[in-house]
Amino acid sequence: MTGAESATESEWRALRTARPSPLQGAARLAVGDIELLGTVEWPTGGVSTSLGLTELVVTGFLRRRDVDFVERRRFERASAVERSGARPPGHPAAGVSPSAEFIVHAVWVGRSASESAIDVRLVRLETGEVEGATRTILPRSVDAVTLARGVVAGALEVLNDLDRRPDWQDPMTSANDRPSAGVSPEALGHFVRGLAAEELFRWEEARRGYQAAAEDSSFYEATSALARTARLRLGGTIAES
Tens-digit pLDDT profile for residues 81-134: 888 877 777 789 999 999 999 999 999 998 888 899 999 999 999 999 999 999
Give this prediction's pTM.
Answer: 0.93
| 1 occurs within a structural domain | no
| 238 occurs within a structural domain | no
User: Which residues make beta-bridge pairs with 108?
Assistant: 36, 118
Residue 148 sits in a domain whose CATH number is 3.40.50
> Nearest to residue 37, comparing CAs of 104, 110, 106?
110
- Give how many domains the chain has, as a whole number: 1
| 3 occurs within a structural domain | no
Instruction: Indicate if the alpha-carbon torsion angle 139, 143, 147, 150 is positive or negative.
Output: negative
| 139 occurs within a structural domain | yes
Q: What's the pLDDT tens digit per position in 170-218?
A: 887 555 544 567 899 999 999 999 999 999 999 999 999 999 999 998 8
| 22 occurs within a structural domain | yes
Residue 20 has pLDDT above 70, yes or no: yes
| 136 occurs within a structural domain | yes
> Nearest to residue 211, comparing CAs of 22, 10, 14?
14
| 4 occurs within a structural domain | no
Residue numbers of the domain that contains 49: 9-165+172-233
Query: Strands 27-37, 67-69: parallel, antiparallel or unpaired by DSSP?
Result: parallel
| 239 occurs within a structural domain | no
